[in-house]
Amino acid sequence: GPVLHVTGARPNFPKAAPVYRALAERGVSQQLVHTGQHYGQQMFDVFLRQLDLPRPDVDLGVGSGSHAAQTAAVLTAVEDLLLERRPALLVVYGDVNSTVAAALAAAKLGIRVAHVEAGLRSFDRTMPEEINRVVTDRIADTLFATSPDAVAHLGNEGIAADRIHLVGNPMIDTLLAHLDRFDAAKARAEHGLDGPYVVATLHRPANVDHPADAAELVHAVHAVADQADVVLPLHPRGRERLRSVGLFTHPRVRVLEPLGYVEFLGLVRGAEAVVTDSGGVQEETTVLGVPCLTIRPNTERPVTITHGTNRLVTRATLAAEVEQRLRAGRPRTWPTPPLWDGHAGQRIADVIVREI
């Protein structure tokens, strides 16, 4: 049978694209399955177009829902598909509900599962993604890690070393492959920015779901806007939740629809700093050398702090941290995590070819 890749949400596409391409170069028969967790022009179509991914062979169309409802819908739809296609291997990416559901469906049918971006741990079970990561790694047969800390976590959890492969970061393959297209000057012109500016993204339930927290967050972002223009492409979850607390009224906060991959990273490339609660954005800013302030009490991506530009902040410390970054300016040189070199997809494909 073919290799079957499952994507569900926005951050899955830049992880899957280099693996898909490297397997195609090796002549491997493969199919792309989208669960439909994310959908529409700005959360789905634009990524296929910009990242040269083919239209998925199947879109399961599961859409939005509670954790149980969404996970269950992916679980049943993927089971049907696996019975029909009988793949040699199922490849899942990251930590979204689609990832854990697809992995579980395959594991129960005795179909081998490979997990790309295995072993990341925030050790914070209040994050839905942490539960998805722990469960997916537990049932995966082959585990691809982006960083040494992830390899260590998997080892500590009793996973045999010969199933764990430190391969680097496929999301960074995609970043480096498209670097020439990230046009900061064009982004400035498009958004009418002429001074220093900050890009922000906010969508984590812990930040936006509770009205009192969300209101404090809006307040913290307003304090940033007192210092620089803030461009805030809002994920649908952030948009819904933050609207309920009166959204942003500061004249220097520009709230936008989610941006395409190329437009977003063009904007990030020219920013003085990024304020985020995203996982992937912590990694991308690390490689671009753009200071990143992560509004979270923890991160499952510690190499972005030890080998990158990332710092953890709170709503209370955010404005002062931004002020420091604006004063210090962008770093001239910065370290990059080991193996984040643009060849992770190739390394993953080499292992997969050996195993199928």
DSSP bridge partners of 199: 231, 274
Q: How far, in Å, CA of 222 to CA of 262, rounded? A: 27
Residue 313, SS3?
strand
Q: In the numeric block, which tokens belong to residue 205?
A: 């339930």
Residue 9 found at the interface with ligand UD1 (CB under 6 A): yes
The entry of ligand UDP, ligand UD1, none near residue 37 (CB within 5 to 8 angstroms by kind) is ligand UD1
Stretch that binds ligand UD1, among 89-97, 108-116, 172-180, 248-256 (CB under 6 A): 89-97
Q: C-beta of 121: minimal distance to ligand UDP in Å?
A: 15
Given the residues 34, 153, 165, 203, select the one marked as catalytic: 203
Q: What is the per-residue burial (b if ≥16 Cβ within 10 Å, else e) of 121-132?
A: bbeeeebbbbeb
- Give the one residue of 203, 254, 325, 347 binding ligand UD1; rule: CB under 6 A: 203
- Give the one residue of 121, 153, 178, 235 binding ligand UD1; rule: CB under 6 A: 235
Residue 237 found at the interface with ligand UD1 (CB under 6 A): yes
Residue 43 found at the interface with ligand UD1 (CB under 6 A): yes
Residue 110, SS3?
coil
Give the nearer residue to ligand UD1 in terms of CB position, either 38 or 112: 38
Residue 97 found at the interface with ligand UD1 (CB under 6 A): yes
Question: How far are the Cα atoms of 102, 158, 295, 325, 346 from residue 267, in angstroms, in the given order?
Answer: 34, 42, 20, 17, 28
Give the nearer residue to ligand UD1 in terms of CB position, either 22 or 217: 217
Residue 203 known to be catalytic: yes
Q: C-beta of 109: minimal distance to ligand UD1 in Å?
A: 22
Give the nearer residue to ligand UDP in terms of CB position, either 111 or 118: 118
CB 262 within 8 A of CB 14: no
DSSP code at position 339: T
Residue 14 found at the interface with ligand UD1 (CB under 6 A): no
Strand locations in the chain, DSSP E? Answer: 3-7, 30-34, 58-59, 89-93, 113-116, 142-145, 164-166, 197-201, 229-233, 253-256, 273-276, 292-295, 310-313
Q: C-beta of 314: minimal distance to ligand UD1 in Å?
A: 20
The entry of ligand UDP, ligand UD1, none near residue 284 (CB within 5 to 8 angstroms by kind) is ligand UDP
Residue 297, SS3?
coil
Contact set with ligand UDP (CB under 6 A): 10-11, 14, 201, 233, 235, 258-259, 261, 264-265, 278-281, 284
Give the nearer residue to ligand UD1 in terms of CB position, either 30 or 99: 99
Stretch that binds ligand UD1, among 6-14, 15-23, 83-91, 315-323 (CB under 6 A): 6-14
Q: How far, in Å, CA of 287 to CA of 105, rounded? A: 35
Q: How many other CB atoms are found less than 10 A from the CB of residue 52? A: 12
Q: C-beta of 84: minimal distance to ligand UDP in Å?
A: 29
CB 10 within 8 A of CB 47: yes
Report the interface residues with ligand UD1, using CB under 6 A: 9-11, 37-40, 43, 64, 70, 95-97, 128-129, 203, 235-237, 240
The residues carrying an active-site annotation are 203
